[in-house]
Amino acid sequence: MMRRVAYFIVVCVFALGMGGELPYGQLLRYGEGPGPLEEEGLYRQAVNLVMEHAAMQPGDEVVLTDSLNEMLHSLDPHSSYYTPEIFKDLMEDQKGKFSGIGLLVAKPGPDSPLLVVTPIPDTPAYKAGIRAGDLILEVDGKQTASMTSREAVKRLKGPKGTTVVVKIGRGDSTTPQTVTLKRANIPKHTVPYSFMLGDGEGYVKITTFGQTTSDELQEALKKLKSEGMESLVLDLRNNPGGSFPAAIAVASTFLAKGQEVVSIRGRRAGMVHPFKVKRDGKYVDLPLAVLLNRGSASASEIVAGALQDHDRALVVGERSWGKGLVQTLTPLDNGGALAITTARYYTPSGRLIQRDYSKSYDTYFFPDEQPDSSKAPKTPSAKEEALTDAGRKVYGGGGIEPDVVVKEPLIPPLALRFERKRAFLNFVAEKVEAGKLKANGVSAPVLLESFRKSMSGGKEKFTKKEWTKSETYMQHALKREAMTMLLGQEEGYKAMADMDTQLSRARQLLSTEKPSRKAA
């Protein structure tokens, strides 16, 4: 059962395509079907037997959802049925906006009230003076301490123009404040971070591909260019994909007219549809590096594969996921949707992006949990070999293999324990709530020493050796939380840049190799 739940979560993360329709009419009683039972009648007969005779009767929605998913998962790992609620969330991600009050929130513990990590600028919450470190004690009269984080966020969201009443607690005030906010459209940024790293090096992070991604990217690049950008690190790590048109637009920004971005090949022989750049990209000559890891999939792999095959960018990091199945998504009458694989993605050099899943879905969805022998890198076969425009050898067989492999370092054990318990967040939140931490007075060493005293006096037990091993990471993590609460997400994100070995390697390579426009 746990594996089924895990499959569903992973499939939802990579839900990027489009779908089909399943006839589902009135259920027949056993033996009442006219004439010989065909496949549809057999299904209805089985459902009726389950509903009438199972020791524990399942709900209609459970039967529908599970049976549809079992049928679709027998085709491939990514064909799936999405319930109305899940489908709504997927479409919200694609559109790049939702209706709410504009807060990034967290729930430090299961019985804790909702904590404001940061308000989104120019939103109802921001304009009402709600700030980082505030506690949302109640939403429409209901205490958030008794809610899950998902339930609390769902209550804060709602149709544009409707109101929600929140009770705010603040560390420097003994009396909670009740505020009525009118919900508005909130932008859901897919390019949340763009800043200069120094020495003419720009950095852009794309978290997912949606309808607004191309416009967001152009705006970010324009800003960085005005700040002196001469090269760029494009970070696609942990980006599960999204809108196919957005992937084409992003890749086209850095490619020349006529260069292929990706091709789609269906099950019928000769069904090949290439997608090519229609005009020179605005940044076709900009030296470029792309960051990937195991969490990069689908649209991310389309972009990285195109830039690598045309020798347009150096790809740094770890091999990507390998999700190269084209999904067709069709809305259903109940508000849900069906996603069915109809084709496969190939990079310009002819590499199949999709990773093999024929061995088992366990191996496919949980590669890091397999025995060491199954995780060992395989020797690429001649069939998987391809050449870039400049004649470099690249290999298919699942995902995009980086030009330079850099493994992400593990978080030291003690620091990882604190991260999982949200100890850094809770500690900084208390300081901010009490007014003891200001944006211009954040000293990471001082903050770390205060944190050590706080942890030493509590239930946490650790040795001096454990502390020393985790010290550097913890110092950066505390600064991350402080900057996020005091100055916003981007400043918090910057605080961890020095710890990013993959980013550091990409910067080093850009300073020496500077890949730019190649022959179309």
- Enzyme catalytic residues: 298, 309, 323
Q: How many residues does the chain have?
A: 520
The DSSP symbol for 58 reads P
Q: Which of 378, 381, 475 is nearest to 424 (CA)?
A: 475
DSSP state letters, 132-165: TT-EEEEETTEEGGGS-HHHHHHHH--STT-EEE
How far is it, in rounded angstroms, from Cα 123 to Cα 112?
25
Q: How far is CA 473 from CA 64, 136, 205, in A?
A: 47, 30, 21
How far is it, in rounded angstroms, from Cα 342 to Cα 86?
21
- Residues with Cβ within 8 Å of residue 78, at least 6 apart in sequence: 11, 14, 15, 17, 323, 325, 327, 339, 341
How far is it, in rounded angstroms, from Cα 97 to Cα 210?
10
Q: Which of 214, 213, 155 is nearest to 188 (CA)?
A: 213
Residue 399 Ramachandran class (φ > 0 left, ψ -120 to 50 alpha, else beta)? left
- Residues with Cβ within 8 Å of residue 158, at least 6 apart in sequence: 99, 100, 164, 183
How far is it, in rounded angstroms, from Cα 276 to Cα 246?
14
> Under a CB-based contact definition with an 8 Å cutoff, are residues 506 and 289 in contact?
yes
Quote the tokens at residue 49.
């037997």
DSSP state letters, 470-483: HHHHHHHHHHHHHH
